[in-house]
């Protein structure tokens, strides 16, 4: 009884903290376990010279990441995307989508709050014109969905803040396409009620109306072939964003329901959730020489960006608890390079020429497989 009472107090404090720090009074408090764990990781960073930083919000195996803007160096949008490519690792933009009010070029926004929840970023900022609330969720490995809400009933404007070096920007109807010489591409897809035009290797866009929330698909592609197929998917997602967000919510609620146990002390819940968020942040889909998706040891440390045998077995054992299919693919990725004598090599990369086949790691794969199937 005492344990249940303590948990109720803790949950009440969490919800109250969310309401005060992460949720404007005008907005309905969201439901779901993810909102019990605000600011699960500290990723506040506003890139000024577009240099590296440590830690991004990423999900669904994506090769792009975002950060929350620092309150003392505010831009009114999520920072990024950052390319998590194993070789280049670069900021594609300081903020590809910053938000303001149309026809109000000198509006100053003051940050109210920012939060990192499992699978979601949140920020709100106020000005004399009104308050703007933004949320970011990944729909899949290529695309994140930006949701924008304003309480002012005014038309909104959008532009990018500081594109990365050598990036060339053009517009095509309701889409902004930013290309880097490496072949990597950022595409911003707006809904039909938003007008978009080019402006000095950048873009300007504005809503033609103010009666509903605005959605923008932020996509990252490794080449033109991905771009042509991806743009159609992004437009389809924007035609029914609530269904896409429902799938994101169900996936994350599934993760958390599987790892939060009733027999576990409440103070351990946050540790368990942080472990899941860390693993999912290090998830990368197949690309180049990585023939299956898997987990890198640390996306924030530049030399730990391949798939490593020893780490793979441990990560797969953990993933078996809440995403066994990803755990299986993680193991398959290493066995794609199994040697004729049966050896599983040390580490593999998007460029197979960089693989380390000189040595291996302790044979813990049987333990990982056993965790998946038991």
Domain extent, residue 189, equals 37-239
Helix axes of 309-319 and 266-281: crossing angle, nearest 10 degrees: 130
Q: How many domains does the chain have?
A: 2
Q: What is the value of pTM for the model shown?
A: 0.91
Query: In this structure, what token pair is assigned to residue 75?
Result: 């831009």
Same domain membership, residue 296 and residue 157: no
Same domain membership, residue 210 and residue 64: yes
User: How far apart, in whole angstroms, are the C-alpha atoms of residue 111 and residue 260?
Assistant: 33
Q: Could you tell me which of 46, 36, 41 has the C-alpha nearest to residue 13?
A: 36
In the prediction, which pLDDT does 12 show? 35
Q: What is the CATH number of the domain that holds 218?
A: 2.70.98.50
Q: 178 near 93, Cβ under 8 Å? A: yes
Residue at 267 is within a domain: no
Residue range 150-168, pLDDT digits in tens: 988 889 999 999 999 899 9
Same domain membership, residue 297 and residue 227: no
Residue at 165 is within a domain: yes
Please count the residues of the chain.
374
Residue at 81 is within a domain: yes
Q: CA–CA distance from 122 to each of 133, 142, 146, 190, 282 (Å)?
A: 8, 20, 10, 20, 20
In the prediction, which pLDDT does 3 show? 42
In the prediction, which pLDDT does 152 show? 80
Query: In this structure, what token pair is assigned to residue 175?
Result: 């889409």
Same domain membership, residue 196 and residue 93: yes
Q: Could you tell me which of 86, 195, 191, 198 has the C-alpha nearest to residue 147?
A: 191
DSSP 133: E
Give the residue ranges of the chain where pLDDT is below 70: 1-29, 210-211
Residue 240, SS3? coil
Same domain membership, residue 151 and residue 46: yes
Q: Could you tell me which of 295, 313, 293 has the C-alpha nearest to residue 304?
A: 295
Query: In this structure, what token pair is assigned to residue 93?
Result: 């933009």
């Amino acid at each position: 009884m005492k344990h249940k009472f303590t948990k109720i107090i803790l949950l009440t404090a969490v919800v109250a903290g969310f309401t005060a720090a992460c949720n404007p009074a005008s907005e309905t408090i969201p439901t779901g376990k993810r909102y019990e764990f605000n600011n699960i990781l500290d990723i506040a960073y506003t890139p000024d010279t577009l240099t590296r930083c440590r830690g991004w919000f990423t999900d669904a195996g994506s090769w792009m990441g975002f950060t929350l803007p620092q309150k003392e160096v505010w831009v009114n949008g999520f920072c990024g995307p950052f390319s998590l490519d194993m070789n280049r690792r670069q900021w594609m933009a300081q903020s590809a989508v910053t938000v303001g009010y149309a026809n109000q070029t000198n509006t100053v926004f003051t940050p109210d709050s920012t939060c990192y929840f499992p699978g979601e970023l949140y920020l709100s900022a106020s000005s004399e014109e009104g308050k703007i609330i933004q949320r970011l969720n990944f729909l899949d490995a290529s695309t994140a969905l930006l949701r924008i809400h304003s309480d002012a009933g005014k038309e909104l404007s959008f532009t990018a803040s500081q594109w990365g070096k050598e990036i060339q920007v053009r517009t095509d109807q309701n889409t902004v396409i930013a290309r880097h010489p490496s072949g990597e591409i950022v595409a911003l897809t707006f809904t039909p009620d938003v007008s978009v035009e080019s402006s000095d290797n950048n873009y300007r866009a504005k809503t033609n109306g103010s009666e509903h929330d605005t959605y923008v698909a932020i996509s990252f592609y490794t080449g033109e072939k991905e771009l042509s197929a991806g743009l159609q998917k992004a437009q389809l997602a924007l035609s029914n964003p609530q269904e896409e967000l429902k799938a994101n919510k169900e996936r994350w609620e599934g993760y958390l329901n599987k790892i939060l146990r009733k027999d576990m002390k409440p103070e351990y819940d946050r540790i368990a959730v942080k472990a899941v968020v860390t693993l999912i942040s290090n998830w990368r889909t197949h690309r180049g020489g990585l023939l299956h998706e898997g987990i890198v040891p640390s996306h924030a440390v530049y030399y730990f960006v391949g798939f490593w045998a020893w780490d793979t077995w441990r990560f797969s054992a953990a993933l078996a608890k809440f995403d066994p299919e990803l755990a299986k693919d993680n193991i398959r990725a290493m066995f794609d390079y199994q040697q004729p004598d049966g050896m599983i090599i040390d580490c593999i990369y998007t460029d197979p020429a960089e693989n380390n086949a000189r040595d291996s790691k302790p044979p813990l794969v049987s333990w990982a497989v056993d965790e998946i199937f038991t």
